[in-house]
Structure 1
Amino acid sequence: MDRRELIIERTVAVKRELAWLGWTKPEHIVHWWGPGNFTATVYEMDVRPGGIWRYSLAPVDGKGDEAYCKATYCEVSEPYRLYYIDSFTDRDWNVAEGSEMPTIIAFEEIAGGTKLTITTRFQEVKQLESAEAMGMIEGYKETLTRLENHFI
């Protein structure tokens, strides 16, 4: 079988309940979501099965395009697991064809913090390879560092 999943694991020095709040409350996520050179704007965040999270990421320096995204929550098991389908959209929130990325965030309480496991599934191998080439792994690493720093 072709590898179509990107799995990022990271332990953050934040209690699981805070990590969960960071991931599910707009007043927190706007401070850390995205790589360090981007700002996040949350337009809607309804964390429940069937709920929608609409957000954008924009380069801090204003150079480059703003990315619009919409996630639909499939499973919300507080404070253990989030499962949503994340997608790129246009400015009117129309999902870009073929951009759907099922994503699972697992929150495991461990000594000294929370182990986060992010699993993102791609429809095709070439989409995974493209995401890796554009820096998705590094972006997630920066994002999780920002999450940790937000609560420290």
Structure 2
Amino acid sequence: MGRKTIITKDREQRKLTVERIVSIPLKLSWEGWTKPEHIERWWGPRNWIATVYEMDVRPGGAWRYRIAPDTAGEGDAAFCKAIYTEVVEWSRLVYNDTFTDSQWNPVEGSDMLTFITFDEARGGTRLSIITQFASAEDLDQAEPMGMVEGYQETLERFEHQMQYILNQP
């Protein structure tokens, strides 16, 4: 733990990249991203909670979730739906993530193509999250809306929660 999250922005390619080596074995890292009982423990920034309504991790499968502040958090709840386009076990997830209303109707223009890669690394797993935005302007709005800080906190929570699971007898 105590590792650094590296964040880079590429306006030309409209990409936000978030990378971190977590002290979690590859298989457990994968399970942390693909099992609802795990993802509900860590998805979202600090002081937020996630509720998974559906998680069908296969090409064409959907992941429907809600994130909302807990009693200490600030902000409005967000409903999202991701559709997986590529799933390579232990290695790669690709999905199109979209904000929705509470009835799961997509919010126009909110699509974010997201690539998650899992690579064995010394002491754990290198996680790389690449989010591609529709425009450079959308990428520019990621930081003011809290997405950059949220990703940092999310990966910290991921490592903490999965480390807790790893250390259970």
> TM-score scaled to structure 2, two decimals?
0.87
Out of 10, 19, 23, the position equivalent to 1:13 is: 23
| Counterparts in 2 of 1:133 and 1:9: CA distance versus 1, 3 Å | same
The amino acid across from 1:45 in the alignment is M
SS in 2 for 1:85: strand
Q: Which runs of 5+ in 2 are unaligned?
A: 1-10, 164-169
Aligned pairs for 1:118-129 within 5 A: 118-129=129-140
Q: How many residues align?
A: 152
Instruction: Tell whether 2:81 aligns with 1:70.
Output: yes
Matched residue SS, 2:50 = strand
Task: Work out the CA distance in 2 between the residues paired with 1:114 and 1:63.
Answer: 31
Q: CA RMSD in A?
A: 1.2
Shift of residue 137 of structure 1?
1.4
After superposition, residues 60-139 of structure 1 pair within 5 angstroms as 60-61=70-71, 63-139=74-150
In structure 1, what residue type is equivalent to 2:123? G
Q: How much has 1:64 moved relative to structure 2?
A: 3.3
Rounded to whole Å, the distance in 2 between the matches of 1:145 and 1:9 is: 11
In structure 2, relative to structure 1, the CA distance for the partners of 1:58 and 1:20 (3 Å cut) is same
Q: Report the 3-state secondary structure (helix = DSSP H, G, I; strand = E; otherwise coil) of the residue aligned with 2:54.
A: strand
Give 2:68's match in structure 1, choosing from 45, 58, 68.
58
| Distance in 2 separating the partners of 1:36 and 1:146 | 7
Deviates more, 1:134-143 or 1:66-75: 134-143
1:87-138 deviations in Å (ceiling 9; x for gaps): 0000010011011100000000011000001000000111111112222111
Q: Secondary structure at the match of 1:71?
A: strand
